[in-house]
Copies of this chain bind each other. A is one copy, B any other.
Amino acid sequence: MSALPPRVRVTDVGPRDGLQNEATPVPTDVKVAFVRALVAAGVRDVEVSSFVRPDRIPQLADAVEVFRRLGPAPAGVVYGALVPNERGLDAALAAGVGKVSVFTAATETFNQRNVNASVEGSLARFRPVVERARRAGLAVRGYVSTAFFCPYEGKTPARQAVDVARRLFDLGCDEVDVADTIGAATPPDVAAVLEGLLPHVPVERVVLHFHDTRGTALVNVVEGLRHGVTAFDTSAGGLGGCPYAPGASGNLATEDLVFLLDGLGVSTGIDLEGLRGAGRPVEAALSRRLPGKVFRAGPAPAGPRCGGPVDPGAARQRCD
């Protein structure tokens, strides 16, 4: 394989992006245990919730209580939350989060349908949010959704996604998170956006957020790795569906990314079995089988079960 980075930072967005797209609300105590289990498994960046109006996203209406019960993040761990505006930021600051995320689409239609604002309007609304968050010492992430395809506008021109990502970076976001919201991108789409963006935003500040709706999330991750991207968003168990393709899958499953990266020799600090364990109570609470493939199938078989010596150089390995 051509040069791959030695390590990758995984942000588990299951508690936020995952649960936001699940029909069944999950009890607060299950969410809290979920976040703790993710951290115990080695995840260092968790997108815990969203401070939006409860009537807009009822699945995340308990954001304040979740953060209260979690308490401060352990050393080296960052708890993040989405904030749509200054009021959301107020709540996030009171809750003691370590990172806030603002978000805009790359396409007008999606932004209008999603938050009832133009892209320019969203960016203007974020300016004071980003400034206050930074002054308070929080990390700030800026999401660009529909960066590759939009359910209403079709293919998003790469220049358009790059333009919005740069605007977020120039506003002061510490990292820009480029999202394939509907899981329709393939590697050339990813390459086009990265080639436009990386001359202007340092690669260590770029995060890629792929949905696996059409099975392309991991090949897109590999394309990102080839461009030097070292931060990716995933969702434990593949939590979360796709509201634009009913019955389809959504987020890339954390276990699937970790399994691949383990095979590629790229370190994540995440223990696969601990991770699989984290998702099980959430699956039970949702009463639906989570789609994550490694979540379901487990690791590769470990080695000869027959007890014979293993000689990797032997032409034939016998079990006797």
Contacts and interface: CB of A to CB of B under 8 A. Distances in A.
Given A215-B293, A222-B222, A247-B296, A319 B259 contact: no
A264 B248 CA distance: 22
A29 interface: no
Given A159-B315, A212-B293, A153 B304 contact: yes
A312 B108 contact: no
A242 to B, nearest CB: 7
Contact of A301 (B184, B191, B293): B184
A75 to B, nearest CB: 32
A194 to B, nearest CB: 12
Contacts of A187: 1, 222, 263-264
User: Which of A182, A214, A289 has the most B CB atoms < 10 Å from its CB?
Assistant: A214
A213 interface: yes
A86 B123 CA distance: 71
B150 A301 contact: yes
Contacts of A107: 317, 319
B152 A306 contact: yes
A3 interface: no
* Identical copies of this chain, number: 2
B216 A219 contact: no
A214 B265 contact: no
B154 A304 contact: yes
Contact of A163 (B154, B182, B315): B315
A16 to B, nearest CB: 22
Contacts of A156: 317
Nearest to A303: B154
Contacts of A293: 212-215, 248-249
Contacts of A191: 1
A216 B297 contact: no
A189 B156 CA distance: 35
A277 to B, nearest CB: 17
Q: Give the 8 A-B residue pairs with the shortest CB-CB distance, closest first.
A: A186-B263, A154-B303, A184-B300, A248-B297, A215-B256, A215-B293, A245-B297, A109-B319
Interface of A: 1-2, 107-109, 119, 149-157, 159-160, 163, 182-189, 191, 212-216, 218-219, 222-223, 242, 245, 247-249, 253, 256, 259-260, 262-265, 289, 293-294, 296-298, 300-306, 310, 312-319
